[in-house]
Amino acid sequence: MTDNIAGKAIVVTGASSGMGAAAARHLARKGAALVLGARRSDRIAALAAEINQAGGRAKPVTTDVTKAEELQRLVDAAVETYGRIDVLINNAGVMPLSPLQRLKIAEWDQMIDVNLKGVLYGVAAALPYMIKQNSGHIINLSSVAGHKLFGGSAVYSATKFAVRALSEGLRQEMAAYNIRTTIISPGAVKTELLNHISERDVQQANQDYVGEVGLPPETFARLVAFAINEPDDVGINEILFRPTAQEL
């Protein structure tokens, strides 16, 4: 069995809860050196302290992914602390679902800023280091909604379809630099994403469904580890996972 996680410097955005926090804990147990980014400083500080007290390595950096300079600071912290950046997990995302006719324009802008521009800013911060190293791995979060649409998902799906297109372009352009890319598209997972939905009828329908069939965030953590742990000459380019019971 390969051991391609221990010692790697890994940056995780959206690390304050849900899938990001689960991935951080799981990768720390496997020996990764982590930099944790999120807006909620208290949460990532507590998570970093938990990891460090358990014998792992984690540094918290307060980060708003809608600001390119803050993502640059996050990635710079990995290089300053560990000497390199091996993996960037662009996990931060929001999902305020709503039908288009309700004209939630501010929420549309938020999804574009976080889900798409936040990924681009992360890529922009990490690529110069990874190209210089001639190695690296960028993991971008899409969604089942990046493969198909459902009620109220038009703008959210648009951002997640865009992440898949961006990631495939990144894969093609970075092959010459030995930089791996992975798209991970989760189905129903029990996280705080549903809290972002301001339309109560849409929120209730999704909470009922995810509450019934949703997977724990640790499922995502295991799949992230799988993609990273493969030898460097193997690119796990896309993972789509769902609860077995999910029809959508």
Per-residue pLDDT, 3: 83
Q: What is the pLDDT of residues 50-81, one digit of tens each?
A: 999 999 999 999 999 999 999 999 999 999 99
Instruction: Name the residues annotated as catalytic.
Output: 156
Coil, helix or strand for 228?
A: helix
Per-residue pLDDT, 139: 98
Pick the CATH number of 9-234 from 2.70.70.10, 3.40.50.720, 1.10.940.10, 3.20.20.70: 3.40.50.720
At residue 1, does pLDDT exceed 50? Answer: no
Tally Cβ neighbours within 10 Å of residue 100.
Answer: 10
Mean pLDDT of the chain: 96
- Distance in angstroms (rounded) separating the CA atoms of residues 244 and 13: 27
- Distance in angstroms (rounded) separating the CA atoms of residues 142 and 15: 16
Over residues 38-47, the mean pLDDT reads: 97
Q: What is the pLDDT of residues 151-201, one digit of tens each?
A: 899 999 999 999 999 999 999 999 999 999 999 999 999 988 888 888 898
Residue ranges covered by each domain of the chain: 9-234
Over residues 23-39, the mean pLDDT reads: 98
